[in-house]
Amino acid sequence: MTEHTFHREPIHHLARITLFGFILTFIVSRVMVFLIMADEVPNFYFFLRGTHVHHLNYGIFLLAWVCGYSVFRRPMGRASEATALLYGISLGLMFDEFGLWLHLGGSYWQRASVDMVIVVAAVLGLVGFATTLRQFETKHFWAAIILGIVLAGFGVVLYTTGAQLMGPRLQELEAASSP
């Protein structure tokens, strides 16, 4: 058995590519849905026998393909970067509609979707931009403690207020597009 030397991309680099694909996909998805609902662009929704196939399904199929490719092909170099980008895109498609699959229906504009996108982006950001444990200094420890307290406070505020994410114009558009 021969020993192979593999060039693996640093995890931070791949996480940043994934984060880029994730955020870009979330923004493009939200913008397209808003434009479709406002009749500014043609309706690109896919319907199968009268059932709207939500884009989270595209994300699920893309994620299944990306995971299979990652497991069986073990991409390296440019292929690992493309895989990371596709992984981010699939996550963006899925978590943009997190509220729909969490509650098995309801409004596209559910707050749970945006909250989960923020959580996933934060985790990818931490992996992509965090220093290694050996480089973790006292100042980083205190910054992490402060960030944890702020995030916990943000979670409490989100939980207790139950604030509406949608403004009157979005509520109007959604009501007009409902069957």
pLDDT the model gives residue 111: 77
**pLDDT score of 156 more than 60:** yes
What does the pLDDT read at residue 64? Answer: 96
Q: Which residues contact 108 (CB under 8 A, 6 or more apart)?
A: 33, 97, 99, 100, 174
Contact between 141 and 66 under an 8 Å Cβ cutoff? The reply is no
Domain range annotation of the chain? 11-177
Element counts in the chain: helices (H) and strands (E) = 7, 2
Considering the entire predicted model, what is its pTM? 0.71
Q: In this predicted model, what pLDDT tens digit does every residue of 115-133 receive, in sequence order? A: 888 889 888 888 887 766 5
The Cα 22–Cα 30 span in angstroms is 12
> What proportion of the chain, given as a percentage, has pLDDT over 70?
75
Q: What is the pLDDT of residues 42-80, one digit of tens each?
A: 887 888 888 878 888 899 999 999 999 999 999 998 999
pLDDT at res. 4: 43
> What pLDDT does 174 receive?
59
Residue 6: per-residue pLDDT = 45
- pLDDT at position 2 over 50: no
Closest CA to 94 of 38, 146, 26: 26
